[in-house]
Structure 1
Amino acid sequence: MSSRNAGEVARVEDAGLTLAAQAGDVSALGLLLERHRAGMRAVAVSVLGPGPDVDDVVQDAALTALRRVGDVRDPEAVGAWLRMIVRNAARSLLRGAAEHRPLDEVRVPAADSGPERWLEHHAMRDWIWEAIEQLTPTLRLPLVLRHFSVGVTSYERLAEACGVPVGTVRSRLSQARAKLALALAATADAPHGDAGRRTRASRIEARETLLAAESGQFGKLLAERWSPEAALVRGNQPVGGRDLLVRGMECDLEAGVRQHLVHAVAGRSLVVWEMDITNPDDDPEHCPPAVAWLMSLDDAGRAHRLRLVHPSPLRADRLLLV
């Protein structure tokens, strides 16, 4: 077979796999990634040079492909599309500003794309979340922050949030991605919860929590909605219970500090609220400019453990709050 014919056959095969992946066949997506992994890796090496960042960028690109495969307009050119994702991620990493669009922010289909595309959009998001819930808490936290949050995406911030060294974060992310692929295959035909509804409800709860705090009802709200054993965690060790949380919030409010929700992530076992912080004019350095609330939930869906991480400041006007 001539090289030209071989190329045509490969493009036809790519098109078939892409269409199957867009229909929700995770094995088809896996085959696509394997077919093009060498090319994706070559692009990463050409931009970054040899090193551990190459594997990270390729793995991140695989997850991006998972959430955005429905965006591919020319299935025969999916290889070029995958290499473009790698190239953009590698260049962003070099700039020190890797762009991790949250996974629940899958691109909204055009208004004229029909109900089938809307169903595909929501089904894909719910399927991803269902698979993530199959991971252990140790692997789930860094994966969710890396790919779902806006501000807590760097390895340094992930290490702070998880209370482990950066090298451990890299290892856990690698394990989490591998296990997520297996979990996606295992949950493809399982019922999936409504991730969008869960996130919308969590966003409302976050705003209600901030309003309760500003009206002096933070302690009452925690007693009603959070676990009786709720605790603030630093590293991996609890440092105080609800009383400490109330005192900390009251002290900040008395100082004139205000928090403003800009992004929310909500799974069945893990919730992330990302806030911008406004400091008083007479004390502009009182608090860092942003904070992320990382909440592990108990079996009843109540906040059980809270970690506070201060990422780079968030820009509400740059976020897509779907």
Structure 2
Amino acid sequence: MVSPDPGAPTPPSTAQLVRDACDRQPGAWRELAARYEGLVRAVVGSYRLQEADFADAVQNTWLRALERLHTVRDPDSLGGWLTTVARRECLALLARSRREAPTAMAEDQLVVQDPGPEAVVLAEEARRAVAHAVTELPVKPRALVSVLFSTPEPNYAEVSRLMGLPIGSIGPTRQRALQTLRCGLARVGQDVVAS
């Protein structure tokens, strides 16, 4: 792992980024999105929505965040706040889809939604590449990634207890691990989704 440059500026805290984003400072919103995109996508992914609904829930979460960021009481707990917003967006989508679901559909009218053989092969290849990239992480980041992404709703207090890490270091450690994963996957030619 590369040591941080001692001359490099310290990244702003989440609280500072929230304040800057509320004040419409350039780059603050982009940095918040970069730090928390993976969390939002993981929360939404735990609801196993269809692809279009997944994209809508992620987008709606960020829209609500943009609209209501000024209402966050504890900016250092932005991850928990975004988790709640993402859950509510997923539940709203699920409720809406239940209301819109056709009721009397003949069995022969149903279309099979199974992925085709190409999609299955590509998904398995991507899964293997990610699993291999995770095994190349240093021990603590690898364990943190495993704990965070093997649990549908990771609780930082529980993760802190399990890993012996201060709560405040979980997010930055996670971010560095994901950046290392992105670089490793890019080296082997895998498309990388921002997280």
TM-score, length of structure 2 as denominator length: 0.47
Q: Say which structure is richer in strand.
A: 1
Greater relative contact order structure (CA < 8 Å, 6+ sep) = 2
Task: Report the structure number with the largest CA radius of gyration.
Answer: 1
